[in-house]
Structure 1
C-alpha cells in the first residue's frame, strides 16, 4: 500500500481522495490546503490529517508519495521539492505551464529515480482505450488527422477572481483544463509535435479571462490535428481519429466526474459503421493504480517522458501563438 499526501483540497483534490477511497492500493495519510476552514469538514469525514503548509507533508516518514493538486503555477516548486524529499510524485495536469518548467520537473524525477504520475485519466476511458486498441492493431491504417472539441460551462459559474479564470495560472482559455487532455491523446497517438498555430478570444467572459481557444498542430510523422475548447456552452465532448483505412469517433455525455456513458463509432474502409456505448469507469483510480504498478516495479507507466514534454511544448506554443494572433510556433 502506498501512503499518500494530497496538496490541494479544492474540487479536484477532493475528487481524487474520493476515487482513491475505492482503491486498496492507497491510503491518504494527510492533506494540505491554504483554506483550512473549507477543507476541514472533508478531511474529518475522510479521516486524514489536515495541514496548512505542504512542507510538513514532505517531512513525514509515514508518507511515501505526494499528489500535487494545486493552481498550475505551483506545480514545479512542489513537485521538485517532493522529489528532493525522497517522495514519489503524482502531478495534476498540466504538468507545467512551459516546456522549461516541465524539463526541470522531469530532471528532478530522473535524479531521484522516481516515477512521475500525471493526471491524464482520460487515456483510461473505455471508449478511448478501444480507439487506441484499434489504432495500434493497424486496422485503421496510417494516421492522418485528429479533431477534438471538449467544452463546458463549469467555469462560467465561477467568480472571475477564481484562479481557474486567471491567465496567470490558466493561460489560453480552457486549454489547461480541457485542451491539455486532448493534447496528451494527440501525442500518444501521433508522436512528437513540430508546429502549433493557435488563437484565443474573450467572447463572453470579460478580458483578461478567455473563453475560447483553438489550435492546429502538425506532427513529425505528417499527421495533423485540431483542438477547440470553449468555456461557456453546455457540455460537449468529441474526439475523432481519421486514418487512411477508417475512422473512429468518441462522444462523451458529460465531464469525467459525472459518470455518464460514452458513445463509440468505428467506420471501416467499406463504409460500414459499428456503434457501441461504453459505461463510465473510475479512470482516476485506474491511473493512480497504474502509477502504483510502476512504482512497485510491476509494469511500466504508459506516459513516457517524451509524451509528457511534447504535450507541454504544445501548451507552451499555444500560449505564445495566441499572444501573437496566431503566429505559427515551430517546436
Structure 2
C-alpha cells in the first residue's frame, strides 16, 4: 500500500490529544481517521474540529477496514489484551510506554506481532530527541569507547494535581513512583546502550505528596555485560530531565529545556579524551511526531523500526524487577523471558 497510514488513536486523554496535535504536521505519513475514548463528551468537539470519527468502543476501530494501525494511549494494564485484539484484527500497533507490566506479557506481545508480520512501535520518543539520537550514534560508532556508567533523572510535578481516581496515579497501574511515567524512558536508553540488565536495587518513597504509588524513586541497575545505570525520578518536584553517559573515550550530558509535551530544545555538555569540555544548545524538535512517523514508514516498509523486540522485552523485564525491588528493598534479579517467534 501507499499513502499515509490510516490510524485509530485509542485513548484521548492528555497524551492522546498530544499525539493528535503533533500528527497534523505529518499528513504525508499518517492520517488519523478514528478516535476511541470511553468519555466521548470530553473530546467530541475536538474530534469534530479535526474531522476524526469518534467512538467509545475499541472494537469499532478494529472492525473498521479503513484503519491500518492502532495507537494505544491507554492504561498500562490494558495494553496486553488490546495488543492481542489488534493482532487478531490484523492491525499494526503503536503502544505508549510501558509495553506491559510483566516481562512475560511483553514477550507475548512481541511474539504475537512478529509472528503476524505486524509492526510494533513504542512511545520511547526520547530516542528521537536530536541530541539523544546523536549520542546513540556516537556510542554505536565507538566514539565514547567502553560505556561505563549512566546517570539519569526525569522528574515533573504534572500529576500532583490530578484527581486521585485518575489511573495515572494509581499504584496498581503505576507502581514504584514515577518509574512507569518517566523512569521507563531512562531504563529504555540504558538497555539500548548497555544491553540486558542483570539485577537492580530500587528505593521508592512517599516524601512530599499523597500520591499512592510514592513520589520519589531511584534504581541502581547492574548489566549482564558490565556497566551500571542510576535512574531516578520524582513526581513531586519541578521539571527536570537529564541523561548522562560516561565512556572510556568521552562523556555526554543531555538536559532538556522543557517537558516533551512542549519541547523547547536541549543543552548538551560533553568532553572527549584529551579535549576541553564543550557546551552547545540544540534547537526545538518534535520527537513524539518523529517516532510516530518512523512507525508509519516501517508499516509502509520504507524504514526499519529501530526499537527491537528484544530491547522491548529486556526493558520490561528490568521494569518488573524494579517493581519487585521497590516492594522488598532488596536487590532483585532480572528475568530472561523467551520470545516465542516462529522460525527463530
Same fold (TM over 0.5): yes
Give me the TM-score of the superposition, normalised by structure 2.
0.94
Aligned pair in 2 of structure 1 residues 293, 207: CA closer, same or farther (>3 Å)?
closer
Partner of 1:244: 248
Answer yes or no: is the 8 Å Cα contact 2:169–2:211 preserved in 1.
Answer: no
SS, match of residue 159 in structure 2: helix
Give me the TM-score of the superposition, normalised by structure 1.
0.97
Q: Distance in 2 between matches of 1:22 and 1:273?
A: 37
Q: Distance in 1 between matches of 2:100 and 2:176?
A: 14
Q: Distance in 1 between matches of 2:152 and 2:75?
A: 25
Of 228, 233, 236 in structure 2, the residue corresponding to residue 232 of structure 1 is: 236
SS, match of residue 157 in structure 1: coil
Q: Distance in 1 between matches of 2:52 and 2:296?
A: 20
In structure 2, stretches of 5+ residues that fail to align are 336-344
Asked whether 1:9 is paired with 2:16, we answer: no
Once the two structures are superposed, the pairs formed by residues 310-325 of structure 1 within 5 Å of their partners are 310-325=314-329
Asked whether 1:142 is paired with 2:151, we answer: no
Asked whether 1:18 is paired with 2:21, we answer: yes
Partner of 1:262: 266
Q: Which runs of 4+ in 1 moved over 3 A?
A: none
Q: Distance in 1 between matches of 2:231 and 2:294?
A: 27
Answer yes or no: is the 8 Å Cα contact 1:3–1:63 preserved in 2.
Answer: yes
Q: Distance in 1 between matches of 2:149 and 2:279?
A: 21
- Deviation digits for residues 64-83 of structure 1 (CA, Å, limit 9, x no counterpart): 11111101111111111011
In structure 1, stretches of 5+ residues that fail to align are none
Once the two structures are superposed, the pairs formed by residues 270-309 of structure 1 within 5 Å of their partners are 270-309=274-313
Partner of 1:71: 75
Q: Distance in 2 between matches of 1:176 and 1:46?
A: 30
What is the aligned length? 331
Answer yes or no: is the 8 Å Cα contact 1:4–1:29 preserved in 2.
Answer: yes
Partner of 2:199: 195
Cα distance, 1:207 vs structure 2? 5.9
Of 113, 116, 119 in structure 2, the residue corresponding to residue 115 of structure 1 is: 119
SS, match of residue 257 in structure 1: coil
Q: Distance in 2 between matches of 1:279 and 1:98?
A: 37
Of 85, 89, 92 in structure 1, the residue corresponding to residue 89 of structure 2 is: 85
Answer yes or no: is the 8 Å Cα contact 1:73–1:96 preserved in 2.
Answer: yes
Answer yes or no: is the 8 Å Cα contact 1:126–1:280 preserved in 2.
Answer: no
Q: Distance in 2 between matches of 1:323 and 1:259?
A: 34
SS, match of residue 310 in structure 2: helix
